[in-house]
Amino acid sequence: MRYCKNCIIPDTKPGINLDKNGLCNACRNVNIKDKIDWSERKRDLSKIINKIKNENKEGAYDCIVPISSGGKDSWFQAYTMSKVFKCKVLCVNMVAHLPTSEGIHNINAMIKDLNVDIIKLTLKPSVHSKLRKNSFIKMGEPNWAEHCMVFAGVYNAAKIYNIPLIVWGEDISFEFGGLSKKQTSDASNLLHSNDLIKDKDVHDLADKSIDRGDLFFYKFPPMKEIRSTSIKSIYLGYFVNWNGESNYKFVKKRGFKGEQNKRSGHLVDYDNIDEKLCDINGWMKYLKFGFWYPTDELCYEIYNKRMKREEAAKLIRKLTEEFPSEFFSDFLNFHKITEDEFFDVANKFINKKIFKPNKNWWRLKYWP
Ligand SMILES: [Zn+2]
Q: pLDDT (tens digit, 9 = 90+) per residue, 264-277?
A: 999 998 888 899 99
Compute the distance from residue 176 Cα to the ligand 1 centre, in Å: 9
Range 203-210 average pLDDT: 86
Compute the distance from residue 283 Cα to the ligand 1 centre, in Å: 21
Does residue 97 sit in helix, strand or coil? coil
pLDDT tens digits, 280-317: 999 999 999 999 999 999 999 998 889 999 999 999 99
Compute the distance from residue 157 Cα to the ligand 1 centre, in Å: 37
Compute the distance from residue 139 Cα to the ligand 1 centre, in Å: 27
Residue 68 has what pLDDT? 86
Compute the distance from residue 234 Cα to the ligand 1 centre, in Å: 26
Task: Give the global pTM.
Answer: 0.91
Compute the distance from residue 258 Cα to the ligand 1 centre, in Å: 27
Compute the distance from residue 32 Cα to the ligand 1 centre, in Å: 13
Task: Say if residue 41 is exposed, middle or buried (CB neighbours under 10 Å; 0-12, 13-18, 19+).
Answer: middle
Compute the distance from residue 12 Cα to the ligand 1 centre, in Å: 13
pLDDT tier at 59 (50, 70, 90 boundaries)? confident
pLDDT tier at 222 (50, 70, 90 boundaries)? confident
Compute the distance from residue 311 Cα to the ligand 1 centre, in Å: 15
Compute the distance from residue 266 Cα to the ligand 1 centre, in Å: 19
Compute the distance from residue 285 Cα to the ligand 1 centre, in Å: 18
Residue 159 has what pLDDT? 92
Compute the distance from residue 179 Cα to the ligand 1 centre, in Å: 15
Compute the distance from residue 8 Cα to the ligand 1 centre, in Å: 6
- Percent of all residues in the chain with a pLDDT value above 90, rounded to a whole number: 71
Residues 250, 254, 257, CA angle at the centre, nearest 5°?
A: 85
